[in-house]
Amino acid sequence: MNVGLTRSRHVLTGLKPKLEELGLSVQWQPLVETTTIIDSSTHEQAARLLSCDWLVFPSRSAVRAWVQLGLATSPGPNGGAAPGPSSGAAHDVSLLRFAAVGLGTAEELGSAGLRPHLVGDGDAESTADALLEMTRQGDHVGLAQGDRARSTLAVALRTQGREVSAVTVYRTETTEWHGPPAKVTVLASPSAVEAFGRALLARTIPVAVGPVTAGAVRRMGSVPTVAAAPYAPEVALAVTGAAHEASLETVVS
């Protein structure tokens, strides 16, 4: 059974060897790559987010961009952020709290030495609900995001009286899948789903990493198998389930 991986180079790095251990043939074509926007304007805008009450990261890429910009790369005395050497922040940011939209982003924050105070269920809606419970009207929430970020989180917070500042810290670039699709294909983001396309989705069994990606697959007219968590073991389990389904379909046909 062949499995297609569309992940970027930094996501689910242990998945390919895990699948190969299970005897599956893996074809990896990264459809999504992100690039940190490193210029003085972006750095200045991002550094201002250090004055917020909360700083929200919607993806692993946002965390990596934040670190590459040299901002808040070590924990402060209360588990908040201590400004990096190039941030130029004169205010006390030790009480800044971090929120991650999902478990994968929380893991990336931990790898950067930053402790998430809030972890959503992998989607903007659940993260907004959790933030609204932990904040008050007038609190300032910063969003470090990509150029394809949805407005769902910011709108939900602003509607309930939170002040929101969003800064684009990375760009997302996509490419097409070359050749026929694998029997099972793993998709880790809505951008990957868009790049893969409706026609190829109809010719594979999609495995979605997270509810947001699953929603993107459904909007393309396909029904995904959804991994229980954004980690290699859980995704591999979802892939084996999808592969079993594909085997049954082959026998029936």
Parse the chain into domains and list their residue ranges. 2-31+175-252, 35-172
The architecture of the domain spanning 2-31+175-252 is 3-Layer(aba) Sandwich (3.40)
Q: Which of 190, 189, 195, 184 lies closest to 239 in space, CA to CA?
A: 184
Stretch (H or E) spanning 144: strand 140-146
Confidence category of residue 21, pLDDT binned at 50, 70, 90: very high
Chain mean pLDDT for the chain? 88
Provide CATH code, domain 35-172. Answer: 3.40.50.10090
pLDDT tens per residue, range 115-142? 999 999 888 899 999 999 999 999 999 9
Q: Which of 122, 126, 128, 129 lies closest to 229 in space, CA to CA?
A: 122
pLDDT tens per residue, range 42-81? 999 999 999 999 999 999 999 999 999 998 544 444 445 5
pLDDT tens per residue, range 87-99? 444 445 678 999 9
Confidence category of residue 11, pLDDT binned at 50, 70, 90: confident
